[in-house]
Amino acid sequence: MLQGSLVAIVTPMFEDGRLDIPSLKALIDFHIDQGTDGIVIVGTTGESPTVDFDEHCLLIQTAVRQVNGRVPVIAGTGANSTKEAINLTQKAKDLGADACLLVAPYYNKPTQEGLYQHFKAVADAVNIPQILYNVPGRTGCDISNDTTLRLAAHPNIVGIKDATGGIERGTDLLLRAPQDFAVYSGDDATAMALMLLGGKGVISVTANVAPKLMHEMCVSAIAGDIVTARAINAKLFALHQKLFVEANPIPVKWVLAEMGLIKTGIRLPMMNLSAQYHDALRNACASAEIL
C-alpha cells in the first residue's frame, strides 16, 4: 500500500509555456533525494487541464523513466468524459505508472449513480491500482462517502484522495472502509490530523517546496508520534495556508522559481503570482526554513 508524502508535483514550463522536461527530471531527483515517498504526475498541481493528450503522456513517460523504480509513480488520468479517462488510464498503464489518480468528473455534475458507474467503468477497463480523487471545491462534484465505499469493493480501486478538508468526513471513511482501502489527505492543512486518525498519507502541494519536512511529518503521524508530528506541522503550517492565497498551482510555482528549481512559466488562464502576495509567501517559506 502506498503511504507517506506523495507530492502532487508541478509541471515545469518555460516562460513561453512549453514543457520544461529537463527541469522536471531534476525536480524528480530532488524529491527522491529529499525523501518524498511517491510522485503524482499530471494532477491538478501539474496543470492537467491545460496539457494536451500527447503532453500528458510525455509527462507520465518522463516521470516513470526518471524515477526508474525508486519510488511509486501515480499518474493523474481523470476526466469528465468516461471514455477519455479510460484512454488516459490505459496509456498510463502502458507507460509503466504504478497507479492512477482519477478526479471526479468536473463541470457536468453527474449523480452519485453516475459517479459510481464512471469509476467502475474505468476500473473494469484497466487493470491498474486506482485512487479516487474528491475535490468538490474545484470540480463542482462531490463523491459521497457511501459512493466511495461502494467503489472500494472493486479490486482495482485501492484508495481515495479526500481533498474536502473535513475531518468528520475523513473519520467516517476510515471507520467504514475496508482495511485494504487507503484514505489519503488532499488538504495539507488537515493532513496531519487525518493521518493520526488512520490515514495513509497525503497527496501534497506543500511537499513541492518542503519535501523533507513533509516526509518526516508523515512518518511521525502515521507512526502515532504526535509530539514530533505536531512540531513539524507547526513549521509547515504557514505554507499550508499561504500556498493557496491564489489558485493552486500559482503560489507553489512562484516559490519553486524563487528556490531556483524551476523557471516562471505557467499557462493561461493561470498567471504568475500577484506581487501583493510575495512577502506573505516569503515569510511562510522563512517559517519552514526553505528560503
Catalytic center residues: 133, 161
Cα dihedral 240, 218, 104, 269 sign: positive
Angle value at C-alpha 161, between 288 and 96, nearest 5 degrees: 95
Burial (CB count within 10 angstroms: exposed 0-12, middle 13-18, buried 19+), residue 179: exposed
**The three grid cell numbers given for residue 68, joined into one nine-digit string:** 526508474
Helix (H) or strand (E) holding 217: helix 211-223
68: number of Cβ within 10 Å: 11
Q: How far is CA 45 from CA 152, 182, 208, 209, 214, in A?
A: 25, 21, 10, 13, 17
- DSSP 3-state percent helix, strand, coil across the chain (nearest 5): 50, 15, 35
Q: Write the DSSP string, 14-52.
A: -TTS-B-HHHHHHHHHHHHHHT--EEEESSTTTTGGGS-
Contact 31, 38 (CB under 8 A): no
Instruction: Please give the torsion angle defined by the CA atoms of residues 148, 72, 256 and 136, in that order, rounded to the nearest 10 degrees.
Output: -10
> For the chain, how long is the longest CA-to-CA vector?
49
Amino acid code (one letter) for 123: A
- What's the rounded Cα separation, in Å, for the pair 223 and 4? 11
